Amino acid sequence: MIVTINKVGITGMGTVSSIGNDVSTFCNSLRGGKSGIKQTPIIKEPKISVDLAAKIEDFSFSDSIDRFQNVSEEKYDHAKRLGRRAPFVIQTSIISALEAWFSARLHDNKPLPERIGLIVAGQNSTQNYQYDLISKFRKNPEYLSPRYALEFLETNQIGVLSELFGIEGEGFAVGGASATGNVGIIKGYQLVHSGLVDVCIVTGVVADLSPMDIQGFINIGAMGGKKYIDQPEKSCRPFDTQHEGFIYGQASASVILESEISATKRGIPFLAEVKGYALNLDSNSSANPNVNGEAKAMLSALNQAGLSASDVDYINTHGSSSPLGDKTEAEAISKVFKDHRSDLWLNSTKGLTGHCLYSAGIVETIATVEQMRQGFLHPNKNLEIPICKDLQFCGTAAVDYQVDVAMSNSFGFGGINTSIVLKRR
Amino acid sequence: MDKNENDIFDLIATHVADISLDIAHGPIIRSSMLSPLGMDSIGRAELIARMLEELSLTASAREFYKANNLGELAALFANKLKEQ
């Protein structure tokens, strides 16, 4: 059981995604069932066999950062200097983290630097950056930018964001394959709950996959997109009988986790409370999911929250559109929620955003919090014939619905199972 | 067309303006040193790597560390270009 004297909640959120470059636009896209999945021209050789993705399009760092100028000139100038020539994955992290920082009003009133922590949820996020530099390196190793030594490391995100926000508490990067975002939230929760920090920024980084990474996912059978190659919006179909694998998505997403004591002192409300979480392994080096492992994560998260299955109104599923993954999660939900399984609502944000890999858990936590706050559930975009009849999936249009307790699942290769429980405030 | 020392200095100035961490740096002239222009040691190394590539030179970056200002750096690159 979590000791309730140090409650932890979310006090700020920010995102840059294929369906909105701020939380408000992202939320409107969720309600409208807008998909970010499109055909993306393949310009690099050799060409890979799937060209569907939900990419962040037309992103301009200088345009994106301009909206923060009025909030804090000093922070604006600093961010501009740090991000001006930084790689895309750093620039998008700066923007999502700034939005979260300002929405939590940390620019007005923040704890001491050593009481603020930073977790970067991301692994292998510079793959495409490295892939693009290979030809230059082959030409002459001396031509390689010395900044490469900083920028190929995941910890570059830690350096940039900690400098920007003046963070001197604990900071590190975490990886958990497709569950990386949830792993980041869980580790951030632990830092705040244990009292090591009062506030922790958790930033999920864009998975900037190289063509080789994408082809790897295709070759292992995890990525879809071939069946609906000419109808990109239909390609991601979580829990539909025609699902065939995940569709790659890009997003950076950040949340501010804060203790109730700190938030009260600063006069900032919780957007939602993190009631419980679980992270458990299957002891499995492969890619296949496991019903027992997923069920265990959901049950453990509920136990830690001090809630029972019947208290849950809604699950933001992992729902990646993978035939085996969807089937396994559906079975695990039935196992945990038993008779309540047909009363709680399910949807998958990946049907709209694609699978944002490392940031997916944070994107979906933001989606969950916004749905709770705004009183709606977003559509399951392409769910025409569900793979099972005994679960209650949202339809193809948004519905008004008040959720008080929600669960958000993320599962990753290597048998990594995570679940978090959120409560509306 | 072969680049002379003045052309090379102009190239250096363009790259310094792009690399500099200090967006509002002062004028870039031959006697300018890198630090006052907002260039740290990584910026200096990046400038040299860019110039090597731009001039298609094969040389170690270390050969250019001895320059005391941008004019001397331009002269070092011009000499290396003549050698090759």
Last residue of a domain, one of A272, A293, A312: A272
Rounded Cα–Cα distance for residues A51 and A40 (Å): 5
Whether residue A303 is found in the same domain as residue A167: no
With left for phi above 0 and alpha for psi between -120 and 50, is residue A117 left, alpha or beta?
Answer: beta
What are B29-72's pLDDT values in tens digits? 999 998 888 888 999 999 999 999 999 999 999 999 999 999 99
Rounded Cα–Cα distance for residues A75 and A53 (Å): 33
The domain spans of chain B are: 5-83
Closest CA to A246 of A34, A52, A6: A52
Indicate whether B1 pLDDT > 80: no
Inspect the interface and report whether the beta carbons of B53 and A85 lie closer than 8 Å.
no
What are B12-35's pLDDT values in tens digits? 999 999 888 666 667 899 999 988
Inspect the interface and report whether the beta carbons of A146 and B58 lie closer than 8 Å.
no
Element (H, E) at A271: none
Predicted local confidence at residue A57, as pLDDT: 92
Quote the distance between the C-alpha of residue A114 and its chain's center: 26
Closest CA to A52 of A224, A210, A222: A224
Residue A2 domain-assigned (yes or no): no
B-chain CB neighbours of A156 within 8 Å are none
Average per-residue pLDDT for chain A: 95
Residue A286 domain-assigned (yes or no): yes
Rounded Cα–Cα distance for residues A104 and A140 (Å): 47
Mean pLDDT value of segment A233-243: 97
What are A378-405's pLDDT values in tens digits? 999 999 999 999 999 999 999 999 999 9
Q: Any idea which residue has 């260039």 for tokens?
A: B39
A-chain CB neighbours of B19 within 8 Å are 85
CA–CA min distance B58, chain A (Å)? 8
Last residue of a domain, one of A232, A257, A272: A272
Inspect the interface and report whether the beta carbons of A142 and B59 lie closer than 8 Å.
yes
Angle among Cα A160, A165, A166 to the nearest 5 degrees reads 95
Domain residues for the domain of A413 are 275-424
Mean pLDDT value of segment A313-335: 98
Q: Any idea which residue has 């706050």 for tokens?
A: A373
How many domains, in total, are found in chain A?
Answer: 2
Rounded Cα–Cα distance for residues A212 and A24 (Å): 34
Whether residue A255 is found in the same domain as residue A280: no
Q: Would an 8 Å CB–CB cutoff place B24 in contact with chain A?
A: no
Q: Would an 8 Å CB–CB cutoff place B50 in contact with chain A?
A: yes
pLDDT band at A1 (very low <50, low <70, confident <90, very high): very low
Last residue of a domain, one of A208, A243, A272: A272
The domain that contains A136 carries what CATH number? 3.40.47.10
Say which residues have a Cβ less than 8 Å from residue A358's Cβ, sequence separation at least 6: A121, A122, A123, A125, A175, A180, A181, A204, A205, A206, A207
Helices then strands, counting H and E runs in chain B, come out as 3, 0
Task: Find the CB nearest A147 among B46, B53, B60.
Answer: B46
Q: Mutate which of A81, A143, A147 to test chain B, going by most B C-beta atoms within 10 A?
A: A143
Pairing of strands A52-53, A8-17: unpaired
What are A88-100's pLDDT values in tens digits? 999 999 999 999 9
A-chain CB neighbours of B45 within 8 Å are 146
Whether residue A93 is found in the same domain as residue A129: yes
**Strands of A221-350, DSSP E:** 251-259, 272-281, 314-316, 345-347
Mean pLDDT value of segment A409-417: 98
Mean pLDDT value of segment A142-170: 96
Q: Would an 8 Å CB–CB cutoff place B53 in contact with chain A?
A: yes
Mean pLDDT value of segment A55-60: 93
* Cβ burial A142-172 (10 Å sphere, 16+ → b, else e): ebbbbbbeebeebebbbbbbbebbebebbbe
Whether residue A53 is found in the same domain as residue A96: yes
Mean pLDDT value of segment A286-311: 97
pLDDT band at A49 (very low <50, low <70, confident <90, very high): confident
Residue A1 domain-assigned (yes or no): no
Q: pLDDT exceeding 90 applies to what percent of chain A?
A: 92
* Whole-model pTM over 0.90: yes
Predicted local confidence at residue A41, as pLDDT: 81
pLDDT band at A3 (very low <50, low <70, confident <90, very high): very low
Whether residue A238 is found in the same domain as residue A327: no
Whether residue A105 is found in the same domain as residue A210: yes
Element (H, E) at A218: helix A211-219
What are A196-210's pLDDT values in tens digits? 999 999 999 999 999
Predicted local confidence at residue A2, as pLDDT: 46
Pairing of strands A399-400, A376-377: antiparallel
Q: Are A346 and A318 in contact (CB under 8 A)?
A: no
Mean pLDDT value of segment A140-165: 95
CA–CA min distance B14, chain A (Å)? 15
The CATH class, in words, for B5-83 is: mainly alpha
Angle among Cα A420, A2, A373 to the nearest 5 degrees reads 45
Inspect the interface and report whether the beta carbons of A140 and B53 lie closer than 8 Å.
yes
